[in-house]
Structure 1
């Protein structure tokens, strides 16, 4: 078992209606991910704004009190419902806006920023959506795993994004344990969402502002999650680095 690199999270707010626990930088350890915001938004906060050279991904948790009205400069206009995902591949440039469907109700989501390979950065922008009912789900003793991107066991997401990544939304019952395989050459990290999660023997919780990152290795390995103090929820992120070789 290899020890993870512990990365600091930071609190972020914008106005009165948006707050987040943000993951940024980490000296390239997150590649192909650029950053993640675990966010709560209660009213329109960010107006129409641009992205280029990356993908901006919105994943709404099942407990989100409302959905998101999404629109962009290529004509997309859709509702992101709780449990659904929307992937905006900005390519050479796009503008988009996401606002809560119901003012006063809180959107609970992840805003995930994923790098694009050189062959995709100058392509025309595009968008992909995954409805909540189309997200595969695996039920195991004491655990529920939703698979909005990538694969877990025999469950594979129908999403085909320009950067291949795995996103797993994991809910554990008290005392449960789950072993997650990590493919050789993939970076992986675990973000605590609710409750205390034990990751390879170390405890993490959202308010700790700490996150374990497992840099890419040239052999397969696994990460063991446990819920030692009541129920817990966490996200696993994994993907092949675009700018570095596995070590």
Structure 2
């Protein structure tokens, strides 16, 4: 079944704007994803802030003007370069901060919030990182597919994340098409990034996203992306839905009200650690 979800425009001060897709209280219909922000960041938009119960993933498009200076309360400090991806599995709780590495330049990115299985929501936090040069790339006639998460064709991302997901960054020249197989039982959706992309013959642009959902029954299928009117870029997300409750409060998302209350109390007593001022 195909549905259309409008992307909401969001801004935070003058340094951050985004087109955002939210999965709602139960994360449906994009489970195991909770939300995706297609964002432009030109300054420090948020102070150091906590997360718990899910993974916060940052992917920089190769055309980003600059890198992200990333740090967290685990002691991680690294540059997320254009074309690279950083995965923070917040688990029982972590504090982090991301700012553009060069003042005055704009980061072009995806902020992706991915649920953790209930049994991993109280696990110690950890971070994964993949450098741009380590992201597998599949070249097809008129198309390039980057594979920062999951697999496509004969390419397999070296990252093994705590939630089973796939993310394909697909660039299309005019007239090109890419066929992506989807497994029965997987949730999958498309976020247009640039230009107009046709998904199974239906056009989508930045104003909307196609959501092929309810794939838990029937045969495996193939989704076709093509560009008919100039170059286009889109990202395809897919994963195995967790089908577990989602209790939200600010930067926390847990599978029960009790776990959420315990997490908030843990943060208040300083269990997540802190970041030193820059």
Post-superposition shift, 1:25? 2.4
Distance in 2 separating the partners of 1:25 and 1:231: 29
In structure 1, distance between residues paired with 2:16 and 2:149: 26
Aligned match for 2:212, one of 210, 214, 226: 214
Q: Show the counterpart of 2:53.
A: 53
Distance 2:81 2:94 in 1: 22
Q: What TM-score comes out, normalization by structure 1 length?
A: 0.95
CA distance, structure 2, for counterparts of residue 47 and residue 222 of structure 1: 42
Report if aligned partners of 2:23, 2:31 keep a CA contact under 8 Å in 1: no
Q: Which residue of 1 aligns with 2:152?
A: 152
Secondary structure at 2:178 match in 1: strand
- Report the counterpart of residue 68 of structure 2 in structure 1: 68
How far 1:152 moved relative to its partner? 0.0
How many residues are matched? Answer: 240
Per the alignment, residue 9 of structure 1 pairs with: 7
Q: Following the alignment from structure 2 to structure 1, what is the Cα–Cα distance between the partners of residues 172 and 86?
A: 25
CA distance in 2, matches of 1:22, 1:36: 6
Inter-partner Cα distance in structure 1 for 2:10 and 2:60 = 18
Equivalences for residues 224-239 of structure 1 within 5 A = 224-239=224-239
Taking structure 2 as the reference length, the TM-score comes to 0.85
Q: Secondary structure at the match of 2:185?
A: coil
SS of 1:88's equivalent in the other structure is strand
- Cα distance in structure 1, aligned partners of 2:72 and 2:13: 23
How far is the alpha carbon of 1:183 from its aligned partner? Answer: 1.1
- Post-superposition Cα deviations, 1:150-185, rounded to whole Å, max 9, x if no partner, equal 000110000000001000000000011111100111
2:273 corresponding residue in structure 1:
none
Equivalent pair of 2:23/2:33 in contact (CA under 8 Å): no
Equivalence map 1:170-189=2 (5 Å): 170-189=170-189
Determine the C-alpha separation between the residues in 2 that align with 1:47 and 1:167.
28
Deviation at 1:94?
A: 0.4
- What is the RMSD computed on CA atoms of the aligned residues? 1.0
Specify the alignment match of 1:140 in structure 2.
140
**In structure 1, distance between residues paired with 2:5 and 2:216:** 18
Aligned equivalent of 2:253: none
**C-alpha separation between the residues in 2 aligned to 1:239 and 1:185?**
9
CA distance in 2, matches of 1:105, 1:166: 29
Matched ranges for 1:97-116 at <5 A: 97-116=97-116
Aligned to 1:44: 44
| 1:217 positional shift | 2.5
Matches within 5 A, 1:117-132: 117-132=117-132
Higher radius of gyration, 1 or 2: 2
Q: Secondary structure at the residue paired with 1:46?
A: coil
What's the counterpart of residue 197 of structure 1?
Answer: 197
Match of 1:21 in 2: 19
Instruction: Name the SS of the counterpart of 2:133 in structure 1.
Output: helix
In structure 2, the residue corresponding to 1:133 is in which secondary structure?
helix
The CA distance in 1 between the partners of 2:223 and 2:198, in whole Å, is: 10
